[in-house]
Amino acid sequence: MTTALVTGGTSGIGAAFARALADRGHDLILVARDAERLTSCAAELSERYGVQVETLAADLAVRDDVLAVADRLSDAERPVEILVNNAGYGLHVKLLDDHLDAHTHAIDVMCVAVLILGGAAGRAMRARGHGTIINTASLAAYISQGAYSPIKAWVLAYSEGLANELHGSGVGVTAVNPGWVRTEFHERAGIRTSSIPDFIWVDSDRVAAEALVDADKKRVISVPTKRWKLQKLLARHAPRSGVRWASRILSRSRQ
């Protein structure tokens, strides 16, 4: 039985990945900050799916904690077959805001930790000749909105670069690019969602299910649902001036 490690695995898309992977029969390693919530989620998943669930309490903004998770990914005697780099949060801050800690914390969690953990997993998986790395990016990577878009654009570009380095090794890398997903993500970030129509939203379980199918096929880019695939095509191929204009409109609607 293989093992999958999911960061941010106790809520939102991360919890959906954990459920989907457990349903496939994978043992799990859940990584999150809240030790009590980790214990509760681990017990629930183990009882429901009959898999073993290990927990690692870690703050991915703290370098020593990240390195502890990287050590677990590097353990050749207890191999991790699938890494889901999912930990993250909504960043409702502008690039001009004088809140350096907010910016650096987000980069540490959603960029630096992804780099360290992806590297550790990639090296271990390449040595074995197989494995899967899934990084949660966002459709925000294709637009230009505040501080969140640049961070997720980095995750997307990093995933494509890592996929190139691992090409032919048997290790697949997939960047998941969801749009509006029904989780506590937006509420925690203080982002208004009342103007977003119901048909735009996607369920987190669907995001995880479609991402895993794409990862099975070693697709580097995964975008859930046809509606969001269309949005990605429009954002990627439209004139950048038009994308910037649409991003400004969207930003104003959420303030």
What are the residue numbers of the active site?
A: 148
At 18, the amino acid letter reads: A
Q: How far apart are CA 242 and CA 151, in angstroms?
A: 21
Both structure tokens of 120? 């550790």
Cβ pair 20, 216 in contact under 8 A: no
Q: What angle do CA 7, 210, 27 make, to 5 degrees?
A: 45
Both structure tokens of 86? 């999912």
3-state secondary structure of 225: coil
Cβ pair 28, 19 in contact under 8 A: no
Cβ pair 133, 174 in contact under 8 A: yes
Cβ pair 35, 62 in contact under 8 A: no
Q: How far apart are CA 112 and CA 107, in angstroms?
A: 6
Q: Is the dihedral of CA 37, 54, 134, 66 positive or negative?
A: positive
DSSP string, 124-147: HHHHHT-EEEEEE--GGGGS--TT
